Every structure is written in structure tokens, then in C-alpha cells.
Amino acid sequence: MAASSLTALSRLVHLTPSSPKSNPKPFLSFSSSTVPILFTFFTLKLNSSSSYSPILSSSSSSSSLSSSSSSASLNSSAPMSYDKQLAAAKKAASLAARLCQNVQKGLLQSDVQSKSDKSPVTVADYGSQVLVSFVLQKELPGQAFSLVAEEDSGDLRKEESQETLERITKLVNDTIVNDGSYKVSPLSKGDILTIIDSGMSEGGSNGQHWVLDPIDGTKGFLRGDQYAIALGLLDEGKVVLGVLACPNLPLESITSEHQNTPNRVAGCLFSAQLSCGTYMESLDGSPPVKVHVSNTENPEEAAFFESYEAAHSSHSLSGSIAKKLGVKAAPVRIDSQAKYGALSRGDGAIYLRFPNKGYREKIWDHAAGYIVVAEAGGVATDAAGNPLDFSKGRYLDLDTGIIVTNRKLMPALLKAVQESLKEVALPSL
Ligand code: AMP
Ligand code: MG
């Protein structure tokens, strides 16, 4: 890793260095010495539709998740470990990020085509989905494999898409060869189509399901801005791990005074496992550092995130909420689940998302980000304060919008949201 990246990492004020026992490798799994954390987010009401009511244990009122020794001693049985799956997920997302970075560098107009819903999709979306599915199956052999992912091969099977399919096939094969971890014969176009369609699982509340957005924030990707490869794992309907690869996210805070520094080192990999906290490392391989959401109780200093695209989230509603709360800073508008990653390390304290009425959120747009923030001490709910339920298939069933913040600010935020929703109407789709 470049020395400048290490310096940038060490300057992040919210980071607590973990103490890996051995030298870090690019695709580190977490050390088994990681201290389990009694994580009280999951003591929020799980099936109720009434307003938010955190049930805090005595240890949870502490704002720091890093000092968890007393919590650990309260755990009578060791939590289920997903170490192997997490290592595989980090490797899969990192390799997919490499493909995406290469495509973004040489983004050509011909890389953009239109899906039937007219959203832009690039060879990188498909290539990323293939690589993630391929790596997960290679790294976790002999395990049942279920993947809920955004893309399917329908458009690529059309006559006019053959050139695109060839380009995807070459990109995927080149990425695998350059990585050097897998000695396999080159994948054919047929293999590519089949692997893309391995993502057609419906998910649900039984068993384990991977949840993937191969490029979250495609519009940001096309603009050269933020995007993320977002991969989560559901076990019995609960998100148990998540990885966010954010190739364009600076290693330093994007809301601090450093934000306008030119040539900042970018490329972050966030990873979280249930009861084990959230870590960040650079995409080119640095020691993971534990991260924590902002502890601020003061809305005046709580910078907030929202979508860059006004069509994805009402900027007027979020403006009204911010005003009611007394937030002073201008909104930070960036694409993708990079917002969850930035929030998990304390860049800003609030994320507001209010799509048009009738829009149905998909689980791959939130699963990884949700656990990355939750394990960093944050809370994500719908606009009525209900926890997000990932067990209902490919869609999230929720009331109005998604709000994310720390536990101290959530009650005031919920109040402001409820008041603003009465005053500012959300447009219909
Ligand atoms: P963001 O970059 O946070 O605005 O979110 C990007 C994600 O928004 C994409 O991956 C899409 O799945 C999703 N999206 C697409 N259309 C809409 C819409 N009309 N409202 C809300 N989200 C949308
Ligand atoms: Mg998405």
C-alpha cells in the first residue's frame, strides 16, 4: 500500500486501529481475536409498526463500540462466525472493483446501453456481477449458493448485444488472469450468461442468500463520481455480513476540512460482520481499522448525506427535515451506498432517503450498507422508525423512506421527519 494511503488512513480521527497479529494481505479476513460486541441495534423492535423505541442495555448507552470487553463477558455463547464468508465477500468485491475501475478509466460511449427501464447499464455492471458470483463459488466450494442480484442476462441474449457480451467476457477473463488466484480455462460467452443468471434468487427468510448490487450508483459511475460494489449475506432473513467496495471514496473524511484537498487517495473497502463491528481498509490493501459512526448529539453539527440524483430522493423534504433539526451544514450529495460507508466512519451523522411515492426499494440497494452502519453503532429505519426487513424477497417493504443516524440523534430525527412529511408532499412515481 502506498505510504500516502497509510498516512491518510491514520489521519482519520474516527478510526481505531485494529491490531492484526500478522502482516496484512490484500484480502484479509478478520482476526479471530476480534472482540465480539454486544450490539443493541437488534434489540430494537423487530416486527412492530409503531414508532422508534430503542431498548438500550446498560452497555449500549456508551457511544464507543471499541471498548467492549464488559459486553463480551455478557455473551454466554459465541456468536455464529461468518469469517470465511466475509473473507470471500471481500475478495469478490475487491476483484469486481478492479474491473469497474478499469472500465471507468476508459469509459466509452459504446459501454452504455439502455435496459428496458431506461436506466444506464454498463459492461461493468454485468462484469462485476459475474466476478462476484464466480469468486464466491470458488472460495466457498461445496456450499449451497443463492444470490439475489440486480442484473439478469435478458438484454445480453439479444442479437444486438453480442458485441457487448464479447466485451464483458474479455473483461472478466482478463481480470481473472491478472489477479492470478484462479487457474481456470477462460469463461465462454455462455458461461458469462449462466453466471449472470445465478443472481436470480428470490431471497427470503429461510437459509442463506447473498445480496448483490454489482454497481450501486451506476449514474455516479458514468459521471466519474461515487459508486459501490455492495455485497451482503442474509441468514434466516437477517443481514449477517456486508462489504462495500467504494473505489472513488477518499480514505479521508469527505465532510472535513480536507475535503477540497486535491489528489486525495481514494478506494475504500468497508466490511462488517454481525457482532464484530465495522472495519475499513484501502482497496489496495492496508491494515483494517475499526470505524464508528459520529457520536454527536448536536444536530447543528450533524452534516447529512443524500442522493446526488434528486429523482432518487426528495431534496426539498430533506431540506425541510434538516431545517427543523437545526442542521447548519449544506447537504452532502453523493451516489450509492458509499453514503453508508462514509457515515459508518463518522463523516456526517445523518443519511436521508425519500424516493417518490410508489418506488419500491430493492434489498441490494441497502443490505450491505445497513450492516456496515449498524455494526459501526448506527441505526437505520424507515420513516416511521421500523427496522428494515430484508426477509421479504427482492424488495424492502417499508413506510415512506429510509433514515440513518446514531442512536442519540434518532429520536429527534424521527420527530423532524414525521413533522416534515405532513408539510412537504412527496411526488408520485
Ligand atoms: P443513490 O445513488 O443513493 O441515489 O441510489 C442509487 C440507487 O437508486 C440505484 O442503484 C437504483 O437502484 C436506485 N433507484 C433507481 N431509481 C430510483 C428512484 N426513482 N427512486 C429511488 N431510487 C432509485
Ligand atoms: Mg443500486
The predicted structure's pLDDT at residue 107 = 67
Question: Is the per-residue pLDDT at 158 higher than 80?
Answer: yes
Distance from C-alpha of 428 to C-alpha of 424, rounded to nearest angstrom: 13
The predicted structure's pLDDT at residue 37 = 31
Q: Is the CB of 150 under 6 A from ligand 1?
A: no
Ligand of minimum distance to the alpha carbon of 428: 1
Q: Determine if residue 213 is labeled as part of a ligand binding site.
A: yes
Distance from C-alpha of 218 to C-alpha of 367, rounded to nearest angstrom: 17
What integer is the mean pLDDT of 246-269?
86
User: What is the percent of the chain where pLDDT is above 70?
Assistant: 77
Q: Is the CB of 309 under 6 A from ligand 1?
A: yes
DSSP character string of 95-122: HHHHHHHHHHHT--GGGEEE-TT--EEE
Question: Is the per-residue pLDDT at 162 higher than 50?
Answer: yes
Mutate to test the pocket of ligand 1, among 216, 246, 309 (most ligand atoms within 8 A of CB): 309
For residue 214, what pLDDT band results from cuts at 50, 70 and 90? very high
Which ligand 1 atom lies nearest to the CA of residue 335?
A: 2
Question: Is the per-residue pLDDT at 187 higher than 50?
Answer: yes
Ligand of minimum distance to the alpha carbon of 314: 1
Q: Is 111 a catalytic site residue?
A: no
Question: Is the per-residue pLDDT at 166 higher than 70?
Answer: yes
Contact call for residues 395 and 60 (beta carbons, < 8 A):
no
What integer is the mean pLDDT of 352-373?
97
- Segment among 50-64, 205-219, 298-312, 321-335 with least mean pLDDT: 50-64
Q: Is 125 a catalytic site residue?
A: yes
pLDDT digits (tens, 9 = 90+) for 50-106: 323 322 222 333 333 233 333 333 445 666 899 999 999 999 999 999 999 988 887
For residue 9, what pLDDT band results from cuts at 50, 70 and 90? very low
Alpha carbon separation from 177 to 99, 111, 181, 183 (Å, rounded): 12, 22, 8, 8
Q: Determine if residue 365 is labeled as part of a ligand binding site.
A: yes
What integer is the mean pLDDT of 257-285?
89
Q: Is the CB of 145 under 6 A from ligand 1?
A: no
The predicted structure's pLDDT at residue 22 = 34
Catalytic residue (choose from 125, 335, 347, 382): 125
E strand segments, 200-321: 208-216, 228-235, 238-250, 266-273, 277-282, 289-291, 304-306
Q: Is the CB of 311 under 6 A from ligand 1?
A: yes
Q: Is the CB of 71 under 6 A from ligand 1?
A: no
Which ligand 1 atom lies nearest to the CA of residue 359?
A: 20
